[in-house]
Amino acid sequence: MSLIIPQGYRNLLGDTEHTEKAIKAVKDMFQENLSAQLTLLRVTAPMVVLSGTGINDDLNGVERPVRFPVKGMEEREAEVVHSLAKWKRLKLGELGIAPGRGIYTDMNALRPDEELDNLHSIYVDQWDWEKVIRKEDRNLDFLKRTVRRIYEAIKVTENKLYVEFPQIVPELPDEIRFIHSEDLRARYPGLTAKERENEIVREWGAVFIIGIGGVLSDGTIHDGRAADYDDWSTPNSEGYRGLNGDILLWNKVLGCAFEVSSMGIRVDEDALRTQLAIRGQSWKESLYFHRRLLAGELPYTIGGGIGQSRLCMYLLRKAHIGEIQSALWPETMRTLCHEAGIELV
Residue 203: name the closest of 188, 223, 186 by CA: 188
Catalytic residue of the set 246, 266, 308, 309: 246
Q: Is 196 within 8 Å of 180 (Cβ atoms)?
A: no
Catalytic residue of the set 83, 126, 233, 309: 126
Catalytic: 89?
no
Catalytic residue of the set 79, 89, 111, 268: 111
End-to-end CA distance of the chain: 19
Query: How far is C-alpha 208 from the chain's CA centre?
Result: 12
Catalytic: 262?
yes
Catalytic residue of the set 259, 261, 323, 325: 259
State the Cα–Cα distance between residues 203 and 197, nearest whole angstrom. Answer: 10
Catalytic residue of the set 31, 35, 57, 128: 57
Catalytic: 275?
no
Catalytic: 325?
no
User: What's at 157, amino acid-wise?
Assistant: T
Catalytic residue of the set 31, 261, 262, 308: 262
108, β-bridge pairs: 125
Catalytic: 152?
no
CB atoms within 10 A of CB 109: 21
Catalytic: 126?
yes
Residues 6+ apart with CB under 8 A from 105: 42, 43, 44, 45, 84, 88, 127, 128, 129
State the Cα–Cα distance between residues 10 and 214, nearest whole angstrom. Answer: 40
Residue 170: name the closest of 178, 160, 179 by CA: 160
Q: Is 3 within 8 Å of 329 (Cβ atoms)?
A: no
Q: Give catalytic residue positions.
A: 57, 111, 126, 246, 259, 262
